[in-house]
Amino acid sequence: MSGDKNKGKDTHDGVDRPRGRQSAVPTGRVGRFARVARLTAGVAGGMLAEGTRQWRAGNRPRRRDLLLTPGNAKRVADQLADMRGAAMKLGQILSMDNGDMLPRELADILGRLRSEASAMPESQLNAAMTEAYGADWESLFSEFDRNPIAAASIGQVNRAVDHEGRELALKIQYPGVAKSIRSDVDNIATVLRMSGLLPADVDMTPLLEDAKSQLEDEADYMKEADFLKAFYEVLADDERFIVPELQSELTTRNVLAMSYVSGGPIEELARKPQAERDRVMTALVDLMLTELFQLRLVQTDPNFANYQYRFATGDIVLLDFGATRAFKARFVNNYRKLAAAAIAGDRKRMVAAAEKVGYAMGDEDSVYRELVLELLLLVLEPLRYEGDYDFAASDMPARLSELAQSAAAHSDFWHAPPTDVVYFHRKVGGMYMLASRMGARVNANRLMREWL
């Protein structure tokens, strides 16, 4: 991959960005817990007010109906987004479970989280940069734009130019985020359980503990630097993709420095001809399978903002590798067997492979086992379909939601899916949603068979 290719600009990026809303990131456990406590009180007050209104109207609403008011949905989304860090990220993670183990209501309310958070005020930005580079940090750059080009759950991205004229993107971590991860996850999980939305009879401990570890990894920018470098090297000769180049001399534990790479929102690809939409989505699905079966490193964050498109050249820009997850060879091999059995329509082999992957499949010939098999067959439907799968015309999401609700009726012995599956299916679900949004058709079966 040439340096020129990395540094080229997209016409969609040549506009001035208005300064977004700023809010200080709450730091320290006491301050962050206070935010959660206020969120709990606000939601409870909203439920009481709505309940009073419903009773006066002669209705007898369910508790979940009282929780899912527009006011409460906004309270939850806004508060988690303002807190940033694990609080916001956990909401994003849980909202992507597509009903596999969480009520649809919870996925809906968490799904309202914005893809972009507020920016840090300049005082916190200065403190973060001073921690990374020292008090004279500004001397490292000939230019530094204090207006971030992106702000998300763990950090924000600011543009800079070094003294050699290289354009850089600096991913700057919000202060206090790394230290608050474990308490944030515990506090938010407690609030969700108290609300009645997190199933009391489903053991969420493995997923929550793994979420803590995953978020701690995301907050370690030295690890993300390794992932960025790995993807850059693997895709160096792949003309379809562009990956930023790591600037290791400026990278620290809380600032990730890379070459600035521009592009336009990939969703705008929807206005391009069908053939181009199909080409781009085929490349992304192919990349997803390569990540799992060859690299065993999967970028599991389904946020569309992690993918951009260059309208002038057709290049696909890949951004943000913080949510990259390493998978063990055993899981990859067993998932390959599960996919092969699903493609062959062999339910007996599917059960054996699913159990090796980590699913609890229930008793033979039980309704529960059939439900789990149907869920897996639905998730893998595009891989099973021979020919071009039309994502826009598919009603798979509706059928998946209906099946998930049926599975919820078996809560007395429903088990949370294996954690590795949850993370990989987040990636799969993100690719499906993007393909549907773009109205793309992909021969996923042909791509999958190359790995069988």
d(CA 282, CA 286): 6
Farthest-apart Cα atoms in the chain, separation: 72
SS3 state at 389: strand
Long-range Cβ contact pairs of 285-290 (< 8 A, separation 24 or more): 285/431, 285/435, 285/442, 285/444, 285/447, 286/447, 287/241, 288/427, 288/428, 288/431, 289/447, 289/448, 289/450, 289/451
User: Alpha helix locations (H) across 96-201?
Assistant: 104-110, 122-133, 177-195
Tokens of 333: 């091999």
How would you classify residue 158: left for phi > 0, otherwise alpha for psi between -120 and 50, otherwise beta? beta
In angstroms, rounded to a whole number, what is the distance separating the alpha carbons of residues 397 and 390? 13
What count of Cα atoms within 13 Å lies in the side-chain half-sphere of residue 211?
Answer: 24
Torsion sign, CA atoms 85, 91, 95, 96: positive
Instruction: Give the whole-angstrom CA distance, residue 145 versus residue 166.
Output: 14
Catalytic residues: 301
- The token duo for 395 is 């009603």
CB 144 within 8 A of CB 158: yes
C-alpha–C-alpha distance, residues 136 and 122, integer Å: 16
Query: Parallel, antiparallel, or unpaired: how do β-strands 241-242 and 316-318 relate?
Result: parallel
The pairing of strands 167-173 and 297-299 is unpaired
**Among 93, 72, 86, 330, CA closest to 216:** 86
Nearest-angstrom CA–CA distance, 260 and 255: 14
Contact 178, 46 (CB under 8 A): no
Query: What are the residues whose beta carbons fall under 8 Å from the beta carbon of 195, sequence distance 6 or more?
Result: 43, 67
- Distance between alpha carbon 219 and the CA centroid of its chain, in Å? 15
Contact 174, 155 (CB under 8 A): yes
